[in-house]
Amino acid sequence: MFKKILIANRGEIACRVIKTCKKMGIKTVAVYSDADRNASHVEMADEAVHIGESATAKSYLVIDRIVEACKKTGAEAVHPGYGFLSENKKFQEALAAAKIAFIGPDAYAIEAMGDKIESKKLADKAGVSTVPGFLGVIKDVAHAKKISGEIGYPVMLKASAGGGGKGMRIARNESEVQEGFERSQSEAKSSFGDDRMFIEKYIEQPRHIEIQIIADRHGNTLYLNERECSIQRRHQKVIEEAPSPFLDEKTRKAMGEQAVALAKAVDYVSAGTVEFIVDTKRNFYFLEMNTRLQVEHPVTELITGLDLVELMIRVAYNEKLPIKQSDVKINGWAIEARVYAEDPYRNFLPSTGRLTRYIAPKETANVRVDTGVYEGGEISVFYDPMIAKLCSYGKDRAEATAHMRAALDAYYIRGVSHNIPFLASVLGKKRFESGELSTNFIAEEYPQGFSDKDLPAEDSSKLLAVAALVHNTYARRAASISGQIPGHGRKVPSAWVIVTKDGDKTVETPVSVAADEGANGTVTIGKKTVDVITDWVPGQPLFTAVIDKKPVTIQVDRKGTGYRLFSAGAQMDVHVYTQREAELARLMPNKPPPDLSKYLLSPMPGLLVSLAVKEGQDVKAGEPLAIVEAMKMENVLKAERDATVKKIHEKAGASLAVDQMILEFG
């Protein structure tokens, strides 16, 4: 076996590959940029080599530096992870020239599958079902209209070199072809330096279902079942699961066998994924093949019990696959949620900064966390803002969903914005539960974008009870440590008034608490009693408990004189007062918070590069308003709804603090 492997990647995927190497007794070499000096993957590896500046073009994408790092450390093989150089032919050639093994497919397969028109032709020849359409390059708009008419609307205009959902557009009629074709073409030109376009039928209510395959150099190619990745935002996956709730055994087998046929047609070795689009009648059509380990591979590992990275390493060392097709089983259900540093309440704007507090859910037989971050570490602007891939496993879909929801509740992240409220909301949707998925899920379930209203309705008595017990515990502790004679401490009352807000309204809820020495006890709210069993102690951010016989985790932050509680993505601010305090609080002037939706605030500290609008101008939702540069990256701030610009507060060139007002809508 290889003695030493270099991982040409960073973040969670580098950590994930290192884990398997350790298990196999293989030494590891990490590479890192300036920004990643203290990163987890560097910490985990046996050795680490600095390969350049923070920008990827000056470090992780520099082929020579990585080859040099291999030579310097004596690494015999390279695992590329995903992204970066994983599908780069020149990288493979450079490694081959230096006699270093590449843990992935051969250059020919990568090239053959790298182009959508060519791979579709190949698939067609191998007997794989492809999306009906025109298998050639579209010359111009007139040609596009003619072909679209022949295929029949709606159609999908696609860039042959496309990836990451770019250069792709639906057209439902001739005028949309007119509008969309040139825009997609120029997007393709600027993103991929290649403007070849093709057109295929748009499959309505589509599901994205992909087949994982693995192949060795001894003629064995297996399919490891499917993953359903229909929950997408802008053609990017958000939640994936295995198996698919939609496939039957017959369709699974047919898709698997076609995926294997395609892999064999290009002499594929290593792990790869054949993506299909599936219509409501379970007709499936080939989309593309990804010639690398995929982000969402853990769900396949959880249901098959296989380690895909280990298999990749073994076949790269020329070993035979240790399993046959008949050994590949589906055992249970797995779900993956991609946890990102982004603000779901602000149109998913990427968030960067330091993780001031970071507690990941405990890994168990039912929870897996693939991550590359740590408390105190930074989410930098240079790389993908993924914090972790959170996976859950259960005997069936309902159980996997329950574990995922519990794990999301226990995921404690402070310092950067994150999408956990959004993920919790998706997992809480009836439609998710029913498995009625399609790639339109998010667009249809969140027609106005995501907001607090999309969060699952929580039983507020649970949160009120926790707030009362937490406060009661703090109050008792305060009463017992103020230097009084034992037994003569201040009395802590059992009756409290909990004050919450409902919009602008203040709501008072009287409660009474009967608790033991800890926070165990019963809270009476009106006629209702809530029983809480917990080992929570003051200072812990997670209140893990059994409430009315159900296990729950509620996040509790102290905020000023009150508390902020989080559960199932939702948050609630509360104050817990004595009767007297409540009376006094009533006398306090009630200052309504400013309506922030009227302002464009800078989401990050940075430089205001330019403004795209003038005072008095009407803007439509989605239109660009301003560009803010932070750490060499330009962020376009867009209108979240239709509005009129009333006043502009900052000029281009201004340096902005986070939440500084840039302009005001009328």
Binding site for ligand ADP (CB under 6 A): 11, 82-84, 131, 156, 162-165, 200, 202-203, 206, 208, 232, 235, 237, 275, 277, 287-288, 290, 294-295, 384, 386, 439
Q: Select from 86, 95, 103, 113 the least CA-distant residue to 20.
A: 103
Helix (H) or strand (E) run with residue 51 in it? strand 47-52
3-class SS string, 505-562:
EEEEEEEEEEECCCCCEEEEECCEEEEEEECCCCCCCEEEEEECCEEEEEEEEEECCE
Enumerate residues 6+ apart whose C-beta is below 8 A from 615. Answer: 645, 646, 647, 648
Judged by beta carbon, residue 192 or residue 374, the one nearer Mg ion is: 192
Residues in contact with 268: Cβ distance below 8 Å, sequence separation at least 6, in sequence order: 105, 109, 213, 215, 221, 262, 291
CA distances from 421 to 28, 340, 412 (A): 36, 11, 12
Residue 353's contacts (CB-CB under 8 Å, 6 or more residues apart) are 341, 378, 379, 415, 416
Q: Which is nearer to Mg ion, 105 or 603 (CB)?
A: 105
Bridge partners (DSSP) of residue 168 are 158
Q: Give least dist CB 374 to ligand ADP, A.
A: 17
Cα dist from 198 to 119, 176, 183, 398, whole Å = 12, 15, 14, 41
Helices 308-316 & 297-304 angle (0-180, nearest 10) = 100
Phi-psi region of 483 (alpha: psi -120 to 50; beta: other; left: phi over 0): left
The distance of closest approach from Cβ of residue 438 to ligand ADP in the complex, given in angstroms and rounded to an integer, is 9
Task: Kindly state the smallest distance separating residue 131's Cβ from ligand ADP, in Å.
Answer: 5
Q: How far is the CB of 341 from Mg ion (least distance, A)?
A: 23
* CB nearer ligand ADP, residue 130 or residue 578: 130
Residue 195 or 275: which CB sits closer to Mg ion? 275
Residue whose CB is less far from ligand ADP, 235 or 580 = 235
Give the one entry of Mg ion, ligand ADP, none that residue 616 binds, where binding means its C-beta sits below a cut-off of 5 to 8 angstroms depending on kind.
none
- Enter the tokens of residue 198: 């093709």
Q: How far is the CB of 353 from Mg ion (least distance, A)?
A: 30
To 10 degrees, the CA torsion angle through 504, 510, 512, 517?
A: 30
Distance from C-alpha of 211 to C-alpha of 252, rounded to nearest angstrom: 9
For ligand ADP, the closer of residues 177 and 619 by Cβ is: 177
Tokens at 621, concatenated: 């939702």
Residue 294 contact partner, candidates Mg ion, ligand ADP, none, CB within 5 to 8 A by sort of partner: ligand ADP
CB of 14 to ligand ADP, least distance (A): 9
What's the rounded Cα separation, in Å, for the pair 48 and 271? 26
Question: Which residues have a Cβ under 8 Å from the Cβ of 346 and sit 6 or more positions away?
Answer: 417, 603, 640
Neighbour order of strands in the sheet with 133-134: 133-134, 197-201, 155-159, 168-171
Report in angstroms how near the CB of residue 218 gets to ligand ADP at its nearest. Answer: 27
Q: Least distance from C-beta 117 to Mg ion, angstroms? A: 15
When CB distances to ligand ADP are compared, the closest residue is: 83
**Closer residue to ligand ADP, CB minimum distance, 14 or 552:** 14
For residue 303, give Cα distances in angstroms to 224, 225, 315, 518: 9, 9, 21, 41
Cβ neighbours of residue 588 under 8 Å, at least 6 residues apart?
none
- In the residue annotation, 623 being an active-site residue is answered as no
Which conformational region is residue 616 in: left (phi greater than 0), alpha (psi within -120 to 50 degrees), or beta?
A: left
Q: Which is nearer to ligand ADP, 204 or 452 (CB)?
A: 204
Catalog residues that contact Mg ion under the rule CB under 5 A. 275
Nearer to ligand ADP, 271 or 313 (CB): 271
CA 655 – CA 660 distance, rounded (Å): 10
As a whole number of angstroms, the distance between CA 517 and CA 473 comes to 8
State the catalytic residue, choosing from 210, 228, 240, 288.
Answer: 288
> CA end-to-end span of the chain, whole Å?
68
Q: How far is the CB of 171 from ligand ADP (least distance, A)?
A: 11
Catalytic positions: 288
